[in-house]
Amino acid sequence: MSLFGLKFGKKKLKEEERQLQANNRDFNLQFEYANNSIKTSKYNFFTFLPLNLFEQFQRIANAYFLFLLILQLIPQISSLAWFTTVVPLVLVLAVSGVKDAIDDFNRHKSDKHVNNRPVQVLINGMLKEQKWMNVQVGDIIKLENNNFVTADLLLLSSSEPHSLTYIETAELDGETNLKVKQALTVTAELGEDLQKLTEFNGEIRCEAPNNKLDKFTGTLTLRGEKYALDNEKMLLRGCTIRNTEWCFGLVIYAGPDTKLMQNSGKTTFKRTSIDRLMNVLVLMIFAFLALMCLILAIGNGIWEHDKGYYFQVYLPWAEGVNSASYSGFLMFWSYVIILNTVVPISLYVSVEIIRLGNSFYIDWDRKMYYPANDTPAQARTTTLNEELGQIKYIFSDKTGTLTQNIMCFNKCSINGKSYGDVYDMSGQRIEINENTQKVDFSYNPLADPKFAFYDRSLVEAVRLNDVPTHRFFRLLSLCHTVMPEEKKEGNLVYQAQSPDEGALVTAARNFGFVFRARTPETITVVEMGETKVYKLLAILDFNNVRKRMSVIVRSPEGDLTLYCKGADTILYELLHPSCNSLKEETTEHLNEFAGEGLRTLVVAYKSLEEDYFQGWIRRHHEASTALEGREDKLSELYEEIEKDLMLLGATAIEDKLQDGVPQTIETLAKANIKIWVLTGDKQETAMNIGYSCNLLNDDMEEVFIVEGSTSDDVLNELRNARKKMKPDSFLDSDEINIQFEKSSKKQIIIPDEQANGVYGLVITGHSLAYALEGNLELELVRTACMCKVVICCRVTPLQKAQVVELVKKYKKAVTLAIGDGANDVSMIKTAHIGVGISGQEGMQAVLSSDFSFAQFRYLQRLLLVHGRWSYIRMCKFLKYFFYKNFAFTLVHFWYGFFSGFSAQTVYDEWFITLYNLVYTSLPVLGMSLFDQDVDDRWSMLFPQLYVPGQQNLYFNKVVFVKCMLQGIYSSLILFFIPYGAMYNTMRSDGKAIADYQSFALMAQTCLLIVVSVQIGLDTSYWTVVNQFFIWGSLSVYFAITFTMYSDGMYLIFTASFPFIGTARNTLSQPNVWLAIFLSIALCVLPVVGFRFLKAQLKPTPSDKVLLKIKEAKKRPPPPSPKRRLRRTSTRRSGYAFSHQHGFGALIMSGRNMRPKSPFATTGTFSPNSDKYKHKGL
């Protein structure tokens, strides 16, 4: 049983193997498997108060103030009233508690939303609608098209032939292409017969819950027979059912045991580097406080021994004090109470208010609002703002984060002529935008209305019956594994296993070669209005080694032709020598396409002789039925027939990037931010996007590819890369190598190393698995961090988190992870800052994130504007706050030497209470909420301004010591100038002014004016609010002082307001104001002089940029650069094709086809369809 949300009792044993029975809840309950509810919240109604207070008192300062409160309740040592501590402490705890409660309430809300989704569960022979949270291991559930998969299921049966089920796994691995799963034949027979499904009592034994997305082993025992289970029969939570009317599944893992949740990582309590630094500084201040109190206590002991002992008639010792040493002991604690304001509790209240205010700026920023789906930016966590100004590494997902999940046929090269560009009358190329006129395809009744193309010359070539052009589009309409659906006449939609193929077949369709229907033996194409049926004789399937696919067809005229498409690097080796001149022209076009970041494929054909083909197909049949070496034999046959191909041309598909991605990446790179792309996609696709979004470019010295299949291979590849980038890094004299040798168990922090050029690194998932092992991880970090860009492809969600954790572990840098799918949740949770992109692959990433918005391009504004401002404001606030409190508190220390170390306060008690809460709180808040050294436009134009934040230059231990020394200096001035001015002084009427109350008033007035002038010097951006707060605070001080020191207040509250008449008597004297002016001059002039000389003689890079901006402001602003980033490319393949091996065999077998219709599914494909634009919740 759980009590108040906490479970007591014996600890659950680690699961070694899972055993369950279908439709037998009683049997399955004995194992106490997790049900399907998920929980990301931290508290419940009963545990909130104790747990939250426990968390808050882990902050050193809060525990210290509680200790101080206890001291103040002891009469013998209390020198200040208890309310001076208890009120601010309760306020701090309440503000933080309310914020935590709101955050946790939102987590409860999102958990409730997911857990309360409906699903149909088979109970007692009937399908009943249940909530997701009530689904248990062993239940059989029914899913329908476009449903999210509820839990990790064993597929039992489906509406499709042979119980195939199509799923989209974008939330798990980032891939948008469809995958196919197939049930066991023995369970496929169950169909949707509820009676048979209810009687199904199979027993499953399988592996314990784990995070391996691509692996599952188990057995099904049914009627005494055992059947092997693997990953091809599993539907995982996080997938979406596509193009399948219904399917039934048996729940194997539920809730936290599902592979998605196992990959999602733990929610960690994130704290900023400034938070961690403040904890260290607070400890330093405590030590300084203890030292001051010790000095004063020793002083008190000596004074009481030498003077006070003989002075007891006039000043008797307190009750219970019988020795000078005991008096000194008590004074130690009294001074702890008096001097505690060096760490005022209002510091933490102010920090929370500043963070909250800066979070609202993010929420309210209209330039980060995305009107297309009504999504504003959102600061989901309000405690990490200043960390946004210190980011050094960004870890980004690819699919849906950098790209839109939309593929468009953009350009092509046919018979040496390039198509796709638009030219004006003078022959100049025009940049295509939303105003460019599209080609009109209305003459083609079967055209896809959403298809857009701009070059009319290609349509003209088709309509003029140009033979190579016709052959090109005929190839695109025949060589693929797309399935068509035509429920209404002319309303044709494609279900494509990969979006690339969908885009190519749609292009052929619009240009008059419409792929209309398919059977296992035929392909029906409408060519320029004429229906032709081609016999499909063989599909030579795609795989990652071949990097090509071919079909062999017989035309209605009886001609045998092989059509092939694939990577240029592969197909060029297979071409007939007569194609050499065409190859050169096509290569030029391919280079241009690759330079623009387009995904390219080369297409070729070959006419076959009948006799040769008959012999080949016979050998093909023998190879495909061979029991041993089947793959090798088929591969040899494919190689044999795919020779002497005739080149037709090349296609160029655009994997549409989100708006502004290349520009954003370019700007962030100028800010010295390194970007790593972590994607589940293939290497070619990932690299292609790398080039198209300007991460990789042809000016780089080299892009290293690490794809070793053993630990030694990976180590050698990484070392070879490092040797090229920095040969000196292998010398014994290298700083890091020396550090490794010296290091014991202490954590190693690797400093930044400069490579001898600009490099990129691409590493595959299986190589990364080796590189993340203990002995290789240091090599990986050193090599990868020297590169400007790192791309990790084919990585699992957990590997994404491990890469982030690795950089956090070995580099003193702040990390940010950005993604949009459930597969990004673990890295979002692991990074210092997690950013979710909303509206692409669902909401899981957003729910786990600290900040969210709709477009990747908003990241530059989040970091360079909001992050930088937040960081600068927080640093200025802390510097000023520590300064003003050292100046305020240390006056007590100097006064101790003139007051017999008696713990007498310098200031009036009311001034001590109101100093931080009223007199100095609003001006510093005004600066911390509104200050900006430059506006947002200049922040974006000069990304170099971001660099000081990465290096933590504005607030660190050295800066703190400077603030401390400035505070000590000011306290000396603020004590000794008023002391000297008051010493033996007469008023103008001859009466004495040298009394304690006049001195106290003068000292506190000097202090307040000095700190007000100081904040004026620190403010870069003046607003009405700043002016009002500073002048208003001074006015309030004088109003309260004259009121509290008036005769009326003394008569009403005699004991509370003893300073009767002091204000009007003291502040009416000219020599007092002269002393105040002298104090201000001596405190402020050294600061002004130091800042001026530093800016002139030793300017920082930031000072230089600010000077440039100052000069630029005098000139008209430059127009925003609106250019499309185009490059000429050296020879580099732009090949990318997100296809899955096995679909060719599936089509030829006919197992995925219904007898009555070509392919009756409920899903659709269009390259611009809504399904591919917005997926998820």
Q: Which are the catalytic amino acids?
A: 397
Place of tokens 């009555």: 1156
Bridge partners of 178? 168
CA–CA gap between residue 1083 and residue 884 (Å, rounded): 12
Listed residue (394, 494, 263, 402) closest to 681, CA to CA: 402
CA of residue 298 relative to chain centroid, distance: 54
Cβ atoms of 151 and 255 closer than 8 Å? yes
Instruction: Give the CA distances from residue 652 to residues 107, 401, 579, 586, in Å, rounded to whole numbers and listed in that order.
Output: 44, 22, 20, 12
Structure tokens at 675: 């970007």
Return the axis-axis angle of helices 868-896 and 921-930, rounded to nearest 10°.
160
β pairing state of 391-396 and 674-678: parallel
CA–CA gap between residue 914 and residue 928 (Å, rounded): 20
DSSP string, 195-261: HHHHH---EEEEEPP---TT---EEEEETTEEEEE-GGGEE-TT-EEES-SEEEEEEEE-GGGSHHH
CA–CA gap between residue 760 and residue 786 (Å, rounded): 9
Cβ atoms of 170 and 821 closer than 8 Å? yes
Cβ atoms of 379 and 906 closer than 8 Å? no
Residue 753 parent element (H or E): none
Structure tokens at 537: 């004789």
Bridge partners of 493? 485
Which residue type sits at 319? E
For residue 1092, the tally of other CB atoms under 10 A from its CB is 10
CA–CA gap between residue 372 and residue 1007 (Å, rounded): 54
Bridge partners of 219? 205, 228
CA–CA gap between residue 887 and residue 317 (Å, rounded): 31
CA–CA gap between residue 967 and residue 883 (Å, rounded): 5
CA–CA gap between residue 541 and residue 554 (Å, rounded): 18
Residue 25 parent element (H or E): helix 25-29
Q: Coil, strand or helix: which one is 124?
A: coil
Structure tokens at 696: 């990789």
Q: What is the largest CA-CA distance in the chain?
A: 131
With the C-alpha atoms ordered 1009, 1013, 1019, 1025, is the resulting torsion angle positive or negative?
positive
Q: What phi and psi values does residue 408 have, to the nearest 5 degrees? A: -130, 135
Place of tokens 């997790």: 34
**Burial environment of residue 1122 by CB neighbours within 10 A (0 to 12, 13 to 18, 19 or more):** exposed
DSSP string, 1109-1153: HHHHHHSPPPPP----------S---B-----TTHHHHHHHTTT-
Structure tokens at 606: 């070959």
Cβ atoms of 784 and 772 closer than 8 Å? no
SS (H, E, C) 561-579: EEEEEECHHHHHHHECHHH
In the DSSP assignment, the letter for residue 676 is E
CA–CA gap between residue 899 and residue 906 (Å, rounded): 10
| Count of positions (residues) in the chain | 1177
Cβ atoms of 743 and 810 closer than 8 Å? no
